[in-house]
Structure formats: structure tokens, C-alpha cells
Amino acid sequence: QVQLVESGGGLVQAGDSLRLSCAASGRTFGSYAMGWFRQAPGKERDFVAAINWSGGNTYYADSVKGRFTISRDNAKKMAYLQMNSLKSEDTAVYYCAADGRFMRSRAPIEGAEYQYWGQGTQVTVSS
């Protein structure tokens, strides 16, 4: 079983930066792909970024490419989402997710492929 806890959300102004963190439990964190998703009010959950188990492969939604960076520290059992040049349309609840399938070379971009989810952290960007 894997438990995920996000932190780092908050209220910022457009153009600011935030770093979200995702703390994971479980002995095999280093073998999991990790993803970040977000859900704005009244909208579906959208893919934001994903990283494979080693950190060697990363994937981004077009809307965040060049502004957001996903990373991980397997020794600390942490995943991160560095968000720069934030826009009002980035306002959402952000969720981290883990794909427990062992050492997949690629990280999924579909939410249905993730088995474990955190509770979410709110990011609000004022314009």
C-alpha cells in the first residue's frame, strides 16, 4: 500500500512560482512512476506531468511545458512539481499519483493507470 501526501499549495499572483511536494510511504517508492494531475472547479481532472521510476523520462501537458518541472528524490521518497510563471488558468487542486507497476520505462499520462492518489493541494493564482 502506498500513501501520498501533497503540500506546497497556496495563493500566489500571476507570474509567481510554487513548488509542490508529494511525500510517499512504502518501501518500493523508487520503482513507481509518479504523476501530477489537476482539477479546476467544474472541470475534469487533467494530466499535468509525469516521471518514470528513475527520473530519466518526463512528460508534460502542452499547457505547462516550459513552465513546470517534475522531479523526484527516491532516497527521500519525494516527488516535486516546480511551477514557474503561473497563470490564472493554473488554478486548481493538484494531485500526485503513483503507478505501482514495477519499473516501467515510461510514466502514464492517463489518470486511470495510477493506483494511488493523494488528497490534493489547492493552488490559486490571482491575476
pLDDT digits (tens, 9 = 90+) for 65-116: 999 999 999 999 999 999 999 999 999 999 999 998 888 889 999 999 999 9
CB count within 10 Å of CB 118 equals 23
Residue keyed to cell 490571482: 126
Question: How many other β-carbons are positioned within 10 Å of the β-carbon of residue 83?
Answer: 26
Quote the pLDDT of residue 103. Answer: 83
What proportion of the chain, given as a percentage, has pLDDT over 70? Answer: 100
40 or 1, higher pLDDT: 40
Q: What burial class does residue 56 get, using C-beta atoms within 10 Å of its C-beta: 0-12 exposed, 13-18 middle, 19+ buried? A: exposed
Alpha-carbon distance of 88 to 110, in angstroms, equals: 24
What band does 43 get if pLDDT is binned at 50, 70 and 90?
A: very high
Strand partners, 121: 94
Task: Please determine, for residue 27, whether its predicted confidence score (pLDDT) is greater than 80.
Answer: no
Distance CA 92, CA 95 (A): 9
Predicted confidence (pLDDT) at residue 16 exceeds the cutoff of 90: yes
pLDDT number for residue 49: 98
Of 2, 106, 95, 8, the closest CA to residue 48 belongs to 95
